[in-house]
């Protein structure tokens, strides 16, 4: 089982409310790793520098009842490595990046 203790847990509406001030942020030096769970199953893993707009764009993957786990990082490369790790481990149905054998790797 995946350990999500370090992640903050939200519902979709809570993310939009908590990060609504980010609507106007153009440059951010923080990066978020997020995991979307629906009915207890991981459906998507991603990374972004603006979690507000990313959750808006994920309306089709993220119902109001979905649970979103967030963790903020300062290092983009670290977030990309973690994203790849969680995609490989959880195999979310809406991710195809890193799930297929023999794909070109982002990091060697």
Question: What structural domains and CATH numbers belong to the chain?
Answer: 8-90 (3.40.1440)
d(CA 27, CA 89): 31
The 10s digit of each residue's pLDDT in 7-20 is 999 999 999 999 99
The 10s digit of each residue's pLDDT in 43-72 is 999 999 999 999 998 887 778 888 999 999
Please tell me the pTM assigned to this model: 0.84
Buried b (16+ CB within 10 A) or exposed e, 61-75: bbeeebbbbbbeeee
């Amino acid at each position: 089982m995946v350990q999500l203790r370090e992640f903050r847990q939200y519902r979709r509406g809570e993310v939009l409310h908590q990060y609504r001030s980010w609507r106007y942020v153009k440059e951010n030096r923080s990066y978020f790793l997020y995991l979307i769970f629906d009915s207890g199953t991981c459906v998507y893993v991603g990374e972004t520098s603006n979690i507000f707009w990313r959750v808006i764009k994920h309306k089709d993957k993220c119902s109001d009842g979905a649970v979103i786990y967030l963790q903020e990082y300062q290092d983009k490369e670290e977030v990309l490595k973690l994203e790849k790790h969680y995609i490989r481990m959880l195999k979310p149905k809406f991710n195809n990046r890193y799930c297929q054998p023999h794909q070109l790797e982002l990091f060697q």
